[in-house]
Amino acid sequence: MACYVDEAMADAVLVRVYGRKTELFVDRESELRNFQVLQAHGCAPSLYCSFQNGLCYEFMQGIALGPEHVQDPQMFRLIAQEMAKMHAIHANGSLPKPSLWHKLHKFLSIVKTELFTKVSNPSLHQDVPSLEVLEQEVAWVQEYLSQLGSPVVLCHNDLLCKNIIYNEAEGHVRFIDYEYTSYNYQAFDIGNHFNEFAGGGLPAIPQQRDPAAVAEALPACLQATEPRGPGRWRGSRVRQGAGDPLCASEQVLLSLPFALGILGPDSGQILNHRL
């Protein structure tokens, strides 16, 4: 809900009330901490107050993007720059762990306790894999992706189009809604955004995963403009103290399995074929 006096909404503030049972899968304390960190680094609007079941913060001027906007090369470069800015925020000297696996296992736990036991439609049980199969899939994906060496950075983790605000007057984009923000694989944030290219519902594959668009946008996503603490990188340097730092092109290759969504037993062969 937006509250304002000026018709131009220049003085607007937003009041957001959390949905029922969203605390099952969203850590609200973590969301608040990350909001404050992002605000301190110029990546989030001003946070005015928090209350038991919501937040009040500054309204961000601009338009929420749609699938038709993110295809524009000028626009996805702005998105890449803002993503790199967020990814450059350091972890105060600690070595953060990716949140991906904890979150996946938490979702499986919720499915087990809140969903599977309450589903009465037999056809859903036929169409949806069993919990055992899902757990095996997660274990395989975790084993495979943990070997790719993608840097762990502060990620938005939910860069769907409507969470990106474009301010034409100032010529920049900003990200909103930090419910899933956490330290995670850099490649996950990039890949998740490309998965959102087609918007919600069933994807239009050529629009969603155009390899040319992926290849053009990735280097900008991977290049942070300023170092923001020890252990972070400038330009194409990724690993502090590494004898042979990964260059941007190698990072692109690390990110492609995420960005193109080609995970599976033969993903390496598929990747080589597509390249």
Helix axis angle for 211-222 and 186-195, nearest 10°, is: 140
Q: Residue 262 is part of which domain span? A: 62-96+151-275
240 plus 212 within the same structural domain: yes
Please tell me the total number of residues recorded for the chain in this structure: 275
| Shared domain check, 194 and 130 | no
Given 119, 143, 167, which residue is the final one in a domain? 143
Instruction: Verify that 54 and 121 share a domain, yes or no.
Output: no
Same domain, 33 and 89: no
CATH of the domain at 165: 3.90.1200.10
Q: Are 193 and 88 in the same domain?
A: yes
The reply to whether 164 and 86 lie within a common domain is yes
Tens digits of residue pLDDT in 3-17: 766 776 777 889 999
Query: In which residue are the tokens 């928090």 written?
Result: 50
Reduced to 3 states, what is the DSSP secondary structure of residue 166?
strand
Query: Domain count of the chain?
Result: 3
Residues 112 and 126 in one domain: yes
Q: Alpha-carbon distance 26 to 181, whole Å?
A: 10
Q: Dump pLDDT digits (tens) for 218-250.
A: 666 666 544 444 333 333 333 333 333 334 444
Same domain, 183 and 258: yes
51 and 77 co-located in one domain: no
Indicate whether 192 and 255 sit together in one domain: yes
**Same-domain status, 273 and 165:** yes
- List, for residues 133-182, the tens digit of each pLDDT value: 889 999 999 998 888 888 999 999 999 999 999 999 999 999 999 999 99
70 shares its domain with 196: yes
Gap between the Cα atoms of 197 and 190, Å rounded: 11
- Which pairs count as long-range contacts for 107-116, CB under 8 Å and 24+ apart, including other chains? 107/25, 108/134, 108/135, 108/138, 110/24, 110/25, 114/24
Would you say the pTM of this structure is higher than 0.75? no
